Structure 1
Amino acid sequence: MAKSPKDHLEDAFNDLGMDELKKFKNKLCDRKKGEGIRKAQVEKVCDAIDLADLMVRTFTSTRAVPVAIEILEAVGCNEQAAELKENAVQSPPVVQSRPDVVDHAAGQLPKVELALADDWHKQLHLVSCSQEFKNKIIKEKGQEIYQVKEKKVRKRLALLINNIDFDEKAMTRRGADTDENNMEWLLKELDYQVVKHKNLSAKDMEKAVKDFARREEHAHSDSTFVVIMSHGKRDAVLGVHYSSSNPSDTFPVDNIYRCLNSENCPGLRDKPKVILIQACRGGETGRLWASDGEPEEPVKIEGDDFVHKEKDFISLMSCTPDTKSYRHVENGTFYVQNLVDVLMKHAHEEHIEELFRKVLQRFESTDMMGSYRQMACKDRASLPKLFYLFPGL
């Protein structure tokens, strides 16, 4: 039976002397590429097996070997680096779709299955809707569905805000850049021009949403998406300056709806507005699977004269109130992975509420979530009609 990357790592680490092993662990903590492992984690490593396990859990089986080779060469263990490169690179890799992850609460090593492979969004593609299906739905549903403008005349906009780097370094959202890339990719595939912002304070998030609501293109659009990804608490998203000494840097979720309602954003009146928020709404921080939550210790109608003020909204939150949302330090969040995957595979034939139900169904799988349970939450829905995206048309 072919050895796994973890087996090869164990072999390499067993060949190191005490001094060499110490140098390796120190270098592992000092990596400057945003992939270093915290000293507290390394200090718990007792032997080669523990170190190999930590490497695979942190970097995944695909990246752990190249990282190990890089460090071995940096500390002068060229012989072990060459042997690891020869043995691990030439032998067939063992696919590990369910890597070990530390259970912070139980102190055990449960199995947690990644939703998808690291390069899943490159391997898959958005399934296009056929003109026949669109004609059929329009004929059958008629006034029950939102009008979708022809591609050649519409101007769709989407807002994407992603907070990664916070003043408190312990709050850095590693893996969030993967979510950003995947979500931007999907929105563009759905024919939305993406207005993107990164690392905003609460005040800047408010301004970004207000400016977006004023965009003239909305008058020529048929819908919009607003995506915000950050740390959060129950009813707010945290700005990058949030800390124990600055707890006021929070952006209330209510403000998104207020900025985009019929009064403040007439260009999107009677048009579907999809709000997607990846952030905790309570809970504690995790370990390999990080919690996008507020850390406890930051150091470590329309009529003659009447219009519904708030209508045509639907949102999907990454978790239910008072609970946490998990993020892998390289592959991003369960929420974004499953959301993007469901829309790619089913948006050509399902309306948005059914798509969201399919996402929720993914989170019902205990095999996938293991001990790291979360449930996405459809919230504040006021869509009186069915919203079909008709991708490709």
Structure 2
Amino acid sequence: MSNPQPLEEEVYDMSGARLALTLCVTKAREGSEEDLVALEHMFQQLGFESTIKRDPTAQQFQEELDKFQQSMDARTDFISCAFVVLMAHGNEGIIKGEDDKMVKLQDLFEVLNNKNCLALRAKPKVYIVQACRGEHKDLGEKIGESEVVTITRDHPHTIPTYTDVLHVYSTVEGYIAYRHDEKGSCFIQTLVKVFTENKGPILELLTEVTRQMAEKELLQGGKLRKTNPEIQSTLRKALYLQ
């Protein structure tokens, strides 16, 4: 038998503009300003044009995404990719605006898909969601005897509607996302550290984020908790930010 050949790596063209939109509810979310500072540092280092909107209502979450899409489609220069960071209280599939009303994540995700945003068609769209997805708390599980220690070429003119998207959630379905009142969220702080200190394809970096988060012990309610992000990808190529 012949040895299998390594796949030839295709990469996204990152030579054009990189755009980032962060929508963050700070109301009753102590520590979120620390996350905003960290994200702004990360986007600056990675060459992104970054916009931050604080305390959007549920309706403004949708409106700001719509404006983001319209502004990209109105540009004449080449756009390489877009990041959207959504930070708020939430539950599975929904996040809460500053007005305590809910907006569906799927409605926000639809705005930039290959059908609705021409500027990002076939280009990477990364959503980072820092929000609870339920009420469950993870106490962790034992490994062995010890506790886990302290996150087509055939049809070149068509493309599926939902490719080239990366959804990165701060926690898995049904579970709480943790945030420190002074230091910010474990997820955002770890992600920024990994993305700014390492090079490699984004899925490898996210694996490192998951590894580091899984090693951490988070104290909440007098008990140690565990947490890890969840990554959902329909990327067709390798995405390098550095």
TM score, norm. by length of structure 1: 0.52
Q: Which AA in structure 2 matches 1:232? A: G
Indicate the residue corresponding to 2:217 in structure 1.
368
In structure 2, distance between residues paired with 1:219 and 1:184 = 23
1:265-309 deviation line (CA, Å, top 9, x unaligned): 010111111110100001179xxxxxxxxxxxxxxx794763311
Matched, 1:276 2:122: no
**Runs of 4+ residues over 6 Å off in structure 1:** none
Matched, 1:159 2:21: yes
User: Which runs of structure 2 are paired with 1:88-237 in the superposition (5 Å)?
Assistant: 144-149=10-15, 154-165=16-27, 172-215=28-71, 216-217=74-75, 220-237=78-95
Q: Secondary structure at the match of 2:217?
A: helix
Report which of the two structures shows the higher radius of gyration computed on alpha carbons: 1
Amino acid at match of 1:198: R
**Cα deviations by residue, 1:56-114 (Å, 9 ceiling, x for unpaired):** xxxxxxxxxxxxxxxxxxxxxxxxxxxxxxxxxxxxxxxxxxxxxxxxxxxxxxxxxxx
Shift of 1:161: 0.7
For residues 205 and 320 of structure 1, the distance between their equivalents in structure 2, rounded to whole angstroms, comes to 22
Aligned equivalent of 1:308, options 154, 160, 165: 160
What's 2:175 paired with?
Answer: 323
Contact 1:155 1:217 in 2 (8 A): no
The amino acid that maps onto 1:306 is T
Q: 1:143 to 1:239 in 2, by over 3 A?
A: same
Q: Distance in 1 between matches of 2:202 and 2:75?
A: 22
The aligned counterpart of 1:133 is none
Q: Provide the identity percentage.
A: 25
Mark the runs of 5 or more structure 1 residues left unpaired by the alignment. 1-139, 166-171, 243-248, 286-300
- CA 189–304 in structure 1, closer or farther in 2 if over 3 Å, else same: closer
Cα distance change of structure 1 residues 141 and 193 upon mapping to structure 2, 3 Å threshold: farther
Q: After superposition, what is the alpha-carbon deviation per residue over 1:296-348, rounded to whole angstroms, capped at 9, x for unaligned?
A: xxxxx7947633111101121000011001111111000011000111111x3
Once the two structures are TM-superposed, the CA of residue 256 in structure 1 deviates from its matched residue by 2.5
Q: Which has the higher helix share?
A: 1
CA contact (8 A) 1:156 1:217 kept: no
- Number of equivalent positions: 216
Change in Cα spacing, 1:328 to 1:304, as seen in structure 2 (3 Å) is closer
Equivalent position to 1:267, from 84, 102, 119:
119
**Which deviates the most, 303-312 or 205-214?**
303-312
* 1:363–1:369 CA contact under 8 A, matched in 2: no
Say whether the 8 Å CA contact 1:157–1:218 is kept in structure 2: no
Higher strand share: 2
Query: Structure 2 counterpart of 1:156, which letter?
Result: R
Aligned AA (2:170): S
Q: State the Cα distance separating 1:188 from its structure 2 match.
A: 1.5
Is the Cα contact below 8 Å between 1:155 and 1:218 reproduced in 2?
no
How far apart are the structure 1 equivalents of 2:17 and 2:75? 6
| Per-residue deviation, 1:143 | 5.6
Output the aligned Cα RMSD.
2.2
Q: Distance in 2 between matches of 1:254 and 1:373?
A: 27
* Residues 279 and 255 (structure 1), Cα distance of their counterparts in 2 relative to 1, 3 Å cut: same
- Alpha-carbon distance, 1:184 to partner: 1.3
2: CA distance, partners of 1:375 / 1:230: 18
Matched-pair contact (CA < 8 Å) for 1:156–1:218 = no
- Between the aligned partners of 1:331 and 1:372, the Cα distance in structure 2 is 17
Contact 2:115–2:161 (CA<8 Å) still a contact in 1? yes
**TM-score, structure 2 as length reference:** 0.83
Secondary structure of 1:260 counterpart: coil
Mapped contact 1:274–1:314 kept (Cα < 8 A) = yes
CA 1:326/1:218 → structure 2, altered by over 3 Å: closer, same or farther?
Answer: farther
| Structure with bigger RCO (C-alpha 8 Å, 6+ apart) | 2
* Residue 353 of structure 1: aligned partner: 203
Partners of 2:111 and 2:162 in 1: CA distance: 10
